[in-house]
Structure 1
């Protein structure tokens, strides 16, 4: 009878044309260090300085062309941000990006070498803002580049200043200083699905259960301070990115707790997964608080596709709260236990339906 029911469920899912989630056979990393997702950074771009010109005089016996032979300095390198599919977040981007300076000129009319440009790959969809918060670059396509800081021009050597009235100039130019500018860079899109919930609602445990991500799990509030990303794989080769976001508390839109920083993480997710701890009293109040905070931050954010996960149903008395939660909202409610693994397959199917509907 048990085998027959499993066969019936599989047949029903495939008849509806719904892709099946795959369980990863690759073991999770045993590394102690957990990798979090970085979607915002402030950077300082320093262009390379130009090389100095050279003052030199060539002394050769019976050579009418001997004289000033100081070469020009090389140009400094630019700092360039380039959109690339090879990177997914801003973890590798340093806070200070500095290009190399150009080489100084030398005698015998030898010009200094121009410095190579310092090119930093950033994910496609990176938005660059200046110090005033104005968007000045949107790297929305593969290969698009933005010059964050220009390198300085190389200085001229004394050979450049030869004229009819000045046959032996003893002057040269210093290389120009490179630009020094500050920016904030952020990703327009972070994940397909973002988990929204109060601290200790079980978001990190749920992400561990449905993906290979390894966020820290602990019983105290605000265990998760930075977002973690996990990938759900399906048998049609589709992958859905799910983000475990830091916990939200009342008055977050007034910058309490992690505040605006948290809400900006949520703004970069296409769909929202409300994770509610139904073992607590009044889970409906938790849901109303979450929706209110999102609506106060952005009217557009609260209109995105939503799904409710009623977590911790393994605790006695939690099922009564699940029924109350279903009666109080029109949003689909999926009761699960992330710790034990109860009903996770149905949750993954609902995530895929929401993804396909709003793709």
Structure 2
């Protein structure tokens, strides 16, 4: 930016400063929307337009030949993987495509309806709907690459007009074809990968406060358990403009794999994260026991789930006088431990630096 004063030109250096890890831009206002990683949708493609029965009438041609045009084709419904789409909250329970227009006289065909293209996140799994106790989940396709498409419902073909049925035997047909019906198919859509990192912890241990501290997300924070009932996604932005999605998963309780405290649905969200970030309240003491219970719940839900890349975050260190992590660090040599205080912004930069290192390592050949 240039400014002029007394015929002297000055060059401002504000444009060349690096963007800090914690942006100064204010937090977004809560809009009441939630992160959705599963949807059941009914796809209704468009019907084809009917063909036309028409005969040409012109000057001195009162009884001309057939000139009924064909109907237009109905629109398809297509799911398309898109890198910029974050979740499935924009999907409606019923998705409809438009019908093709009817054929007209003078050999004019009806207009075909445009295809309805629905953008979905990368790694979206499309499967047939399951009936509990009767049918098992049957995956149809997983949209992995950006721009990959899946034809969910095919539109009906337009019907032929009476001009199509002219033959040597029938010179003036008085019949036309009805447009084909579009398909109606129900699908289950779920995100294979919800976020790179997901917070795992008991209720009221500071997960939402931590997400508010490291991103512009604004999950509800209160002093009672189960404040968070649905996942929230925050984008952690770095000074080279790389953004890493981190998910605030609702708190787990002991016995979550048996669906205590809606645990099975919360564990399903955790299964869709690439990296596990255990958030443990150090002010409660016995943090080794907290970690063991959480890890056991994950393995009881799905064998090997706790084997994913992991980080341990000891939250609320501002509430303890002395901090000793030697015992748990000796027990978990391969797992990094970060004591933090989200309220006082202590230890967050070291945590975010290590998350970036993991992100770069596991995305060497592909991006999330």
Q: TM-score, normalising length from structure 1?
A: 0.86
> Is 114-123 or 57-66 further displaced after alignment?
57-66
Distance verdict in 2 for CA 1:21–1:287, change over 3 Å: farther
Q: Aligned to 1:68, which of 57, 66, 69? A: 66
Q: Aligned to 1:97, which of 89, 95, 108? A: 95
Query: Secondary structure of 2:187's partner?
Result: strand
Query: Secondary structure of 2:289's partner?
Result: helix
**Deviation at 1:44?**
1.2
Q: Aligned to 1:287, which of 291, 295, 298? A: 291
**Deviation at 1:210?**
1.2
**Deviation at 1:48?**
0.2
Structure 1 counterpart of 2:118: 120
Q: Is the 8 A contact 1:279 1:318 kept in 2?
A: no
Task: Please state if 1:45 is matched with 2:43.
Answer: yes
Task: Please state if 1:173 is matched with 2:177.
Answer: yes
Q: Aligned to 1:259, which of 263, 271, 282? A: 263
Structure 2 counterpart of 1:130: 128
Deviation sequence 1:180-203 (CA, Å, 0-9, x none): 011112222222211101111110
Matches of 2:249 and 2:257, distance apart in 1: 15
**Deviation at 1:119?**
0.8
Matches of 2:38 and 2:60, distance apart in 1: 66
Q: Is the 8 A contact 1:334 1:347 kept in 2?
A: yes
Task: Please state if 1:278 is matched with 2:282.
Answer: yes
**Deviation at 1:281?**
4.5
Query: Secondary structure of 1:257's partner?
Result: helix
**Deviation at 1:109?**
1.9
Task: Please state if 1:335 is matched with 2:333.
Answer: no
Structure 2 counterpart of 1:182: 186
**Deviation at 1:263?**
1.6
Structure 2 counterpart of 1:4: none
Q: Aligned to 1:106, which of 99, 104, 115? A: 104
**Deviation at 1:173?**
1.8
Matches of 1:74 and 1:198, distance apart in 2: 57
Gaps of 5+ in 2: 1-18, 131-136, 364-368
**Deviation at 1:60?**
4.2
Q: Is the 8 A contact 1:51 1:175 kept in 2?
A: yes
Task: Please state if 1:226 is matched with 2:225.
Answer: no
Structure 1 counterpart of 2:154: 150
Q: Is the 8 A contact 1:34 1:216 kept in 2?
A: no
Q: Is the 8 A contact 2:55 2:63 kept in 1?
A: no
Deviation sequence 1:34-54 (CA, Å, 0-9, x none): 443222221111100011112
Matches of 2:53 and 2:358, distance apart in 1: 70
Q: TM-score, normalising length from structure 2?
A: 0.84
